Amino acid sequence: MATLGPEIVAQVVATCQTNAGEIAAALGRTFDDQFSVATDQIRIESREAGTDDFRHSGLVWLFKIGGTALLAFLPESSDMLPEWCGTPDQTGKNKLLTLAAEFGLMLLPDEWMPEDNNAEWVKSFDESLQRGAAATDAAVVSLTLVAGKKQSKLWLVWPARQPDNVFVPEPAPSQEVETAQAETAQAQTAQREAPAAVNPSNWHVASELSYESLEDGLRLLPQFTRSLLKVKVPVTVTLATSKRPVRHILEIVPGAILQFDKSCEEPLNVEVGNQTIAQGEAVKVGDMFGLRVTSIVLPDERFLAVRGKSS
């Protein structure tokens, strides 16, 4: 795929004008407010036009395409962002990533669908642009957002030629954490090898490694365990299932209607490896089909009888 360039600026403007209503609706679902996009104020800007906003902190959405990226920025000074956006919990992070997936389909032309997207809070958008190697002559487009009496610009800037550097990397674990991890591993080894000799005074080490978010917890896992999280597995959304005799299958022709026992209002199943992991409801994401997860399905518990040797 070709890399992003300023030459598609007119296409981006046209796409944003066409999808203005859906952009506003996606913002409203994420931030629990009523938004609108002033279609007559979607404009091609210069880099200097956003100087005041770019110095501020705020939310950045990143859309990676062919080794480059388009960045979308909504400044904190707009007063349109809820307080939780600065330090989102796992639910908040999921909301922002869902919005990023929707934005990827709404802000860019169909032939420029993102290969990957992300969303994070930054202290200075200008610094993020510098880390991402966005040229001074990069394309800049602004969308005017309106929420009640509040008004702000959503800025689109591209290309960022080093997208992996846009967000500040997580700091390396401190020496104290590394030491605590080592002590925990030693205590666990000692417990396995000599359960009766374990000193209960060492048990406090594990409790000191509590974490506030999922990402913090994942960083405490061994390297080989974290590598398993990169394995790609097929995810299937099942609308409905039914069994039919082969003779009925052979009678299926274009225009035929297959009837299922499942109601249209029932949730859809999300399956990974033939195992149902969640349920959700169908949603429209631009011109694409999506699924909003409403509940997580825990795996079936399995109990095996432990039988000793007969005397």
Q: Residue 251 has what pLDDT?
A: 86
- In-domain check, residue 311: no
Together in a domain, 63 and 154: yes
- In-domain check, residue 52: yes
Tell me the CATH number at 254: 2.30.330.10
Q: Residue 195 has what pLDDT?
A: 45
- In-domain check, residue 212: yes
- In-domain check, residue 36: yes
Burial level of 44, CB count in 10 A (0-12/13-18/19+)?
middle
Task: Tell me how many domains the chain contains.
Answer: 3
Give pLDDT < 70 ranges for the chain: 1-3, 169-215, 223-224, 303, 307-311
Together in a domain, 139 and 244: no
Together in a domain, 83 and 189: no
Together in a domain, 158 and 11: yes
Together in a domain, 256 and 214: no
Q: Residue 131 has what pLDDT?
A: 93
Give the residue from 69, 61, 42, 58 showing the smallest Cα distance to 126: 58
Q: How far is CA 164 from CA 2, 68, 102, in A?
A: 18, 9, 21
Q: Which range marks the domain in which residue 45 is found?
A: 6-165
* Cβ–Cβ < 8 Å for 12, 43: no
- In-domain check, residue 307: no
Together in a domain, 218 and 290: no
Together in a domain, 146 and 56: yes
> pLDDT (tens digit, 9 = 90+) per residue, 263-289?
888 899 998 888 888 999 988 887 788
Tell me the CATH number at 159: 3.40.1550.10
Question: 141, 165, 189 — which closes off a domain?
Answer: 165
Calculate Rg over the CA atoms of the chain. 25
Q: Which residues of 47-63 are buried (b: 16+ CB within 10 A; e: fewer)?
A: beebeebbebbbbbbbb
Q: Residue 62 has what pLDDT?
A: 96
Together in a domain, 242 and 275: yes
Sign (positive or negative) of CA dihedral 127, 84, 118, 164: positive
Together in a domain, 42 and 151: yes
Give the residue from 125, 85, 78, 119 showing the smallest Cα distance to 100: 119
The H or E element containing residue 294 is strand 288-296
- In-domain check, residue 304: no
Q: Residue 208 has what pLDDT?
A: 47
